[in-house]
Amino acid sequence: MKSSFMIHGKTRISGIIGDPIEHTVSPAMQNAAFQELGLDYVYVPFRVRKEDLNQAIQGVRALNIRGLNVTIPHKVAIIPLLDEQDSVVANLGAVNTIVNENGILRGYNTDALGFLKALLAEQVPPARKNVVILGSGGAARAIAFFLADQSANITIVNRHAEPAQQIANRMLGLFRRAIKVCELTRENLRKVLREADILVNATNVGMTPDVDTSLVPAELLKSGLLVFDIIYNPLKTRLLRDAEQQGARVISGVEMLIYQGAAAFELWTGRKAPVEVMRKAALEALNSHEE
């Protein structure tokens, strides 16, 4: 049921906090979903500086804001300011969604769930697949967590060995699952990609404005490989363009963005998210940024 957009006395407020925040496409995506289901909700961006996070969270309680998405630089710093956290947050140490239940703020992380749902939507369950993850920052860690939980065979390839080894140690402790780690060299990439079913780029390399860079030489990509670049700006990175040319299947980071947003929507509203509507709104907003 579609409704025209109106703010009433009973309208519930949700939004996103981060700094910077002006390029977020989440308001377009979430407001389109609220309107599609005729829900009396609105979603707004809030630029919150690091030093103002504490006050902003007090404000969430004081203003009875229903929920928020949380993005850079607050994903870790927000945790001690919340009342509760789900088990994923406890293991990952990062929050991207909060829900306010009568003043009790509970933290969730829907980022990696978004990644997993995007894979499943492409009919690619990761169990026992050989997955190569490039990068070992916050996103790589969250993705490794869900993939290890799904019994994938994971190799992390990173510029610096230390953070990759830390993720591997953590996953071994949590899931009794060994993760291989190697340094980012052409020779190592060649070796690990020979056996790989899925390649995930979880680094910043290839993001706007560096749209012609990729960490993986095109000739190492092959048909039969699924390449998931979690970058969504641009929608099709150099890595994805090269992969398509080599006959590989590709998934853009916008799919992860859509599904993490859908999971947050469901936490706030208790309703099933209209994923197609959210996809259309996200793509329109991203395309208008690219113009």
Q: Which residues bind ligand NAP (CB under 6 A)?
A: 111, 114, 135-140, 158-160, 163, 184, 202-205, 207, 215, 230-232, 253, 256-257, 260
Strands 198-201 and 226-229: parallel
Query: Which of 2, 50, 75, 117 is labelled catalytic?
Result: 75
Q: Which is nearer to ligand NAP, 12 or 192 (CB)?
A: 192
Strand ranges for 48-94 from DSSP E:
67-70, 84-85
Tokens of 159: 């510029």
Q: Which is nearer to ligand NAP, 137 or 224 (CB)?
A: 137
In the complex, minimum distance from the CB of residue 162 to ligand NAP, in angstroms, rounded to a whole number = 8
| End-to-end CA, the chain | 32
Measured from each CB, the residue nearest to ligand NAP is: 137
Q: Which is nearer to ligand NAP, 234 or 253 (CB)?
A: 253
The CA–CA distances, whole Å, from 112 to 1, 21, 119, 182, 193 equal: 30, 21, 11, 22, 22
Active site residue 75: yes
Taking the mean position of all CA atoms in its chain, how far away is CA 275? 15
Angle, nearest 10°, between helix axes 275-290 and 253-269?
130
Tokens of 273: 């998210």
Q: Assign 3-state DSSP to the chain and report helix, strand, coil percentages, each to 5.
A: 45, 20, 35
In the complex, minimum distance from the CB of residue 152 to ligand NAP, in angstroms, rounded to a whole number = 18
In the complex, minimum distance from the CB of residue 8 to ligand NAP, in angstroms, rounded to a whole number = 31
Q: Which is nearer to ligand NAP, 204 or 245 (CB)?
A: 204
Which residues are identified as catalytic?
75
